[in-house]
Amino acid sequence: MPLVPFGALKRNALGFLCVKTAPGSVWLNTSPVRSTGAMVVFSPGGKRTTPDGTGCTYSSNAIRSGIRGQSKEDAMIKLYGVPMSRAMRAMWMLEELGLPYERVKVDFADGGTRKPDYLKINPNGHIPALQDGDVTLFESMAINLYLARKYDQGLWPKTVADEGRAFQWSVWAMTELEEPVITALLHRVFLPAAQRDAKKADDAAERFKTPLAVLNGALAGRTYLTGSVFTVADLNVASVVSIAPMCGIDLAPAPNVQAWFQRCSARPALARAQAHP
């Protein structure tokens, strides 16, 4: 299906290439589909269309399995994992960037993470893992930093100092914030009832208060972690904070975190990622 020429193009404040597909229409964000050269256009409603005059609308699923004749096998990016896991972080990032990708179902619940073929991709036996052409990566935060940097759509910080802050907050989220909230999740939600230990969960919830207070202080007087713009730092940290409400940890004692988390959670890209089956 041949593409017809774009309408007017411009870059918005976040660096997105925007297009007007008809005179008098609103500006729409776009994202390139690298392997096909097609451009995906984000309509204000969050659905995607191509500016070829066909009026076609592509869902996340269609994009994932390939649009405009691109087969699944050709998909440049493969994300291994299931939504109910740390793979959701990378799904959120991929949706923010509007990248076509294939999600390959690898589930810890059925032993998929320990299968020999998957261990060749991530020898740790964990999800997520990402393949982007010749590049194979594990570690969710590293995957997101890589994607935000490589396919920059405004989520990569604009200064070296803010890049440092993005690294800082991503490493901090893994080393200071994640363990207590994952422990609480395991012992309150995930483990079979007989294996749950209420004391371990309560201790973990108590320990979570320390990094939560650090984050609350950092967000005082700020909209986002590096200033006024949502970046990969916010996505990575918010993806860990999002576990707290799932296991009964109240964010109310940290009002700056609560307000920031609401802003992050309202991102349409997160809703699109969560809508994946």
Q: In terms of DSSP bridges, do strands 129-132 and 57-58 run parallel, antiparallel, or are they unpaired?
A: unpaired
Of residues 93-132, those binding ligand GSH (CB under 6 A): 108, 113, 125-128
**128 or 157, CB closer to ligand GSH?**
128
Tokens of 165: 């802050």
Site size toward ligand GSH, by CB under 6 A: 10
Compute the distance between CA of residue 42 and CA of residue 34 in angstroms, rounded to an integer: 16
Q: Which of 140, 153, 170, 216 binds ligand GSH (CB under 6 A)?
A: 140
CB 200 within 8 A of CB 187: yes
Residue 236 in contact with ligand GSH, rule: CB under 6 A: no
3-class SS at 42? strand
Q: Which of 102, 139, 163, 234 binds ligand GSH (CB under 6 A)?
A: 139
Rounded to 10 deg, the angle between the 232-241 and 160-172 helix axes is 10
Compute the distance between CA of residue 47 and CA of residue 42 in angstroms, rounded to an integer: 6
**32 or 125, CB closer to ligand GSH?**
125
Pick from 214, 258, 273, 265: nearest CA to 239: 265
Shortest Å distance, C-beta 91 to ligand GSH:
12
**29 or 140, CB closer to ligand GSH?**
140
How many residues are present in the chain? 277
**86 or 103, CB closer to ligand GSH?**
86
Report the interface residues with ligand GSH, using CB under 6 A: 85-86, 108, 113, 125-128, 139-140
